[in-house]
Chains A and B, each alone.
Chain A
Amino acid sequence: MEYGLDLEYSFNEFLKGFGLSSEIAHIIWLPLPMLLVLVAAVVGVLVTVWLERKISAAAQQRIGPEYAGALGVLQPIADGLKLLVKEDIIPAKADGILFTAGPILVLVPVILSWLIVPFGQNLLISNVGIGIFLWIALSSIQPIGLLMSGYASNNKYSLLGGLRAAAQSISYEIPLALSVLAIVLMTNSLSTIDIVNQQSGAGILSWNIWRQPIGFIVFWICALAECERLPFDLPEAEEELVAGYQTEYAGMKFALFYLGSYINLILSALLVSILYLGGWGFPIPVELIARFLNLPINAPVIQVFTASIGIVMTVLKAYLLVFIAILLRWTTPRVRIDQLLDLGWKFLLPISLANLLITAGLKLAFPQFFGG
Chain B
Amino acid sequence: MSIAITTQIICFTILSLVILIGALGVVLLESIVYSAFLLGGVFMSVAGLYLLLNASFVAAAQVLVYVGAVNVLIIFAIMLVNKKEDLKPINDIKSRRIISTTICLTLLSLLIRVDLTNVWSLSSPLNSIGEDSTIRIGEHLFSDYLLPFEVASVLLLMAMIGAIVLARRDVMSKDISTGLPVDQELIEKSSEPLLTNKK
Contact = CB atoms under 8 A, between A and B. Distances in A.
Interface in A158-211: 159, 162-163, 166-167, 170, 173, 190
A98 interface: yes
Interface in B85-123: none
B67 to A, nearest CB: 6
Contacts of A151: 33, 79
B137 to A, nearest CB: 11
B77 to A, nearest CB: 11
A148 interface: yes
Interface string A62-98: 0000000000000000000000000000000000001
B76 A166 contact: yes
A144 B60 contact: no
Interface bin, chain B: 20 to 34
A147 B131 contact: no
B3 to A, nearest CB: 5
Contact of A130 (B44, B57, B72, B75): B57
A178 to B, nearest CB: 13
Interface in A96-153: 98, 128-130, 133-134, 136-138, 140-141, 143-144, 147-148, 150-151
A163 B80 contact: yes
A129 B59 CA distance: 12
A148 B37 contact: yes
A136 B57 CA distance: 12
B134 interface: yes
A137 B79 contact: no
B69 interface: yes
A23 B67 contact: no
B156 interface: no
Nearest to A133: B60
B53 interface: no
Given A130-B56, A130-B57, A151-B33, A144 B71 contact: yes
A1 interface: no
B11 interface: no
Interface residues of B: mostly helix, strand, loop or mixed? helix
Given A141-B67, A148-B37, A151-B33, A133 B57 contact: yes
A293 interface: no
A136 B67 CA distance: 12
A151 B72 CA distance: 13
Please classify how large the interface on chain A is, using the bins under 10, 10 to 19, 20 to 34, 35 or more. 20 to 34
Nearest to A136: B64
Interface string B1-34: 0111000000000000000000000000000010
Given A143-B72, A159-B79, A170-B72, A129 B56 contact: yes
Contacts of A140: 63-64, 67-69, 72
A144 B134 contact: no
A27 interface: yes
A137 B60 contact: yes
Given A129-B131, A129-B134, A130-B56, A137 B72 contact: no
Nearest to B78: A151
Nearest to A27: B3
Contacts of A167: 76
A170 B57 CA distance: 21
A141 B68 contact: yes
B159 interface: no
B187 interface: no
A130 B37 contact: no
B131 to A, nearest CB: 4
Contacts of B37: 98, 144, 148
Given A23-B2, A141-B68, A130 B60 contact: yes
A134 B60 contact: yes
Contacts of A163: 76, 79-80
B167 interface: no
Q: Which of B3, B37, B79, B80 has the most CB of A within 10 A?
A: B37
A187 to B, nearest CB: 13
A151 B82 CA distance: 10
B151 to A, nearest CB: 22
Given A129-B131, A151-B33, A166 B56 contact: no
B48 interface: no
A221 to B, nearest CB: 20
Nearest to A142: B68
Nearest to A135: B60
Q: Which 5 pairs show the lowest CB-CB distances between chains A and B? A: A140-B68, A129-B131, A137-B60, A137-B63, A137-B64
29 contacts: A23-B2, A98-B33, A98-B37, A129-B134, A130-B56, A130-B60, A130-B134, A133-B57, A133-B64, A134-B56, A134-B60, A137-B64, A138-B63, A140-B67, A140-B68, A140-B69, A140-B72, A141-B63, A141-B68, A143-B68, A143-B72, A144-B37, A144-B71, A147-B72, A147-B76, A151-B33, A162-B79, A163-B80, A170-B72
Interface of B: 2-4, 33, 37, 40, 44, 56-57, 60-61, 63-64, 67-69, 71-72, 75-76, 79-80, 130-132, 134
